[in-house]
Amino acid sequence: MNREALIAGVGHSPFGKLTGRTALDLEVEAAIKAIADAGLSPKDVDGLVTDPGPAQGILNGITPHYLALGQLLGLNPRYTGSEILGGAGSVAIIQRAVMAVEAGLCSVCLCVYGDAPLSAKGSFDYARGDEAAFGLFGAAGLHALAAKRHMHLWGTTENQFGEVAIAARAHAARNPNAQLQKPLTMKEYREAGYIVEPLKKADCCLISDGAAAVVVTSADRAADLLKPHTRILGYGQAHNFGTYSSPDHFDSLPAARCGPEVLNKAGLAPSDIDVVQLYDCFTIVVLMQLEAYGFCAKGEAGSFVEHGRIGPGGSLPVNTSGGLLAEAYGGGMLHVIEAVRQLRGEAEDRQIQGAETALISGHGLGMNTHTTLVLGV
């Protein structure tokens, strides 16, 4: 019996401002598409793990989420649950599905992210917890501090943040599903006002209604399926329970701990990775992850991304679908789906020729959580 866990199917709903549709409605659509992509039916699914987005987590709580979704899909799984790790959650539920399949707790595990923050008004417009005392309204304020710290320590410039945003738009221009398909120039980037200095609008991820899903199953089960399966070469997590008031909180990410470890487990070096899908809630996070994963030295990410290096045709294309900055906000699940499509050779105009390995990251909860997934053909 071969219980090695594989990704067998992917699917997603539309993304954008989807008036009149609920998060659960969108999740059902994404789930059905992923199950069909795997060549399965809902009756084959015996595991369900979910990543409720921020609006769902705040407005509805997490306990009923997988129950409500499972009921709508007609599932009676042997294994289920939800994860709340912010932007690290989507990769985390795939890791959880891998462990469940390989432990024999289920044989076909459905992983679903979904949210409708544009419809669930009020989910992003107030400060929470300790942030309120310092006037930090949401994630932009925290990541602006990280950007300022990187500028102070390493001489990083606003134009270098802009290079990340421009690359994301260039990739999105090749993606018919992207919300922002119009290319961005440095002049346009520079002329935009600040959201929280030094972050401009293009430095910040989109807010989107939508859902995405991935099917994880065993090698034995996948042998009979139509689509080429995607191997899971390594995965891991690292967490930092410090706060932004800690002196070194913004100096590095937990990715610096789990990233090299996961690559080592997979028997790969950064130079062996063909497809790079980095969680990009803000441009500064892309720079810090390039350093943490070893694609460049610490403090050198700003110069590393210059001259289109991470854009289409560059030596290290990053977030080939446009990512959270330009495709849509889909937790981290759209990053996984793009990686799978690249490894299957299904990425159309944005296809990286000969792609055999992919790295996907998740990052969340005010720079406290990080998840890593490495895939292969």
Average pLDDT of every residue of the chain: 92
**Active site residue ranges:** 279, 329
* End-to-end CA gap in the chain: 21
pLDDT at 372: 98
Q: Which of 16-30, 53-67, 198-212 has the lowest mean pLDDT?
A: 53-67
pLDDT score of 246: 74
Q: How far apart are CA 174 and CA 181, in angstroms?
A: 7
For residue range 305-327, what is the model confidence (pLDDT) as tens digits? 999 999 999 999 999 999 999 99
Q: In percent, how much of the chain has pLDDT > 90?
A: 80
Nearest to 98 by CA among 212, 250, 222: 222
Q: Check residue 57 and give its pLDDT.
A: 58
Pairing of β 5-12 and β 108-115: unpaired
Residue pair 286/203 in contact by the 8 Å Cβ criterion: no
CA–CA distance, 99 with 228 (Å, rounded to integer): 21
Beta bridge mates, 47: 79, 109
Task: Look at residue 241 in the predicted model and tell me its pLDDT.
Answer: 84
Instruction: Give 330's pLDDT tier (boundaries 50, 70, 90).
Output: very high
Q: Which helix (H) or strand (E) holds 273?
A: none
**pLDDT value at residue 24:** 93
> CA–CA distance from 58 to each of 21, 116, 125, 220, 306 (Å)?
18, 12, 12, 39, 38
DSSP state of 89: H
Query: Residue 338, SS3?
Result: helix
pLDDT of residue 195: 93
CATH of domain 5-121+207-222: 3.40.47.10
pLDDT band at 277 (very low <50, low <70, confident <90, very high): very high
pLDDT higher at 130 or 63 = 130
pLDDT for 122 equals 52
What pLDDT score does 142 carry?
Answer: 86
- Give the model's pLDDT for residue 61: 52
Per-residue confidence (pLDDT) for residue 191, from 0 to 100: 96
> By C-alpha distance, which of 75, 98, 51, 118 is closest to 334?
51
Residue 227 has a pLDDT of 85
Q: What is the pLDDT of residue 2?
A: 87
Contacts of 377 (CB under 8 A, 6+ apart): 228, 230, 231, 343, 356, 357
Q: Is the dihedral of CA 360, 320, 267, 241 positive or negative?
A: negative
- Domain spans of the chain, in order of start: 5-121+207-222, 135-204+231-377
Count of H-run helices and E-run strands, the chain:
13, 11
Indicate whether 267 pLDDT > 60. Answer: yes
pLDDT of 126: 57
Whether 356 has a pLDDT exceeding 70, the answer reads yes
Lowest mean pLDDT among 7-21, 188-202, 215-229, 261-275: 215-229
- Does residue 134 register a pLDDT over 90? no
Taking the CA atoms of residue 170, residue 173, residue 175 and residue 179 in that order, the dihedral angle to the nearest 10 degrees is 100
Count of residues making up the chain: 377
Tens digits of residue pLDDT in 78-107? 999 998 898 999 999 999 999 999 999 999
Domain range 135-204+231-377, CATH class: alpha beta
Report whether pLDDT(42) > 90.
yes
Residue 131: pLDDT above 60? yes
Per-residue pLDDT of 139-197, as tens digits, reads: 888 899 999 999 999 999 999 999 999 999 999 999 999 999 999 999 999 999 999 99
Residue 125: predicted pLDDT: 54
Domains 5-121+207-222 and 135-204+231-377 share a fold: yes
* Total-model pTM: 0.95
Mean pLDDT of the 229-252 span: 86
Instruction: Report pLDDT for 157.
Output: 98
Query: For residue 324, how many other CB atoms are within 10 A of its CB?
Result: 28
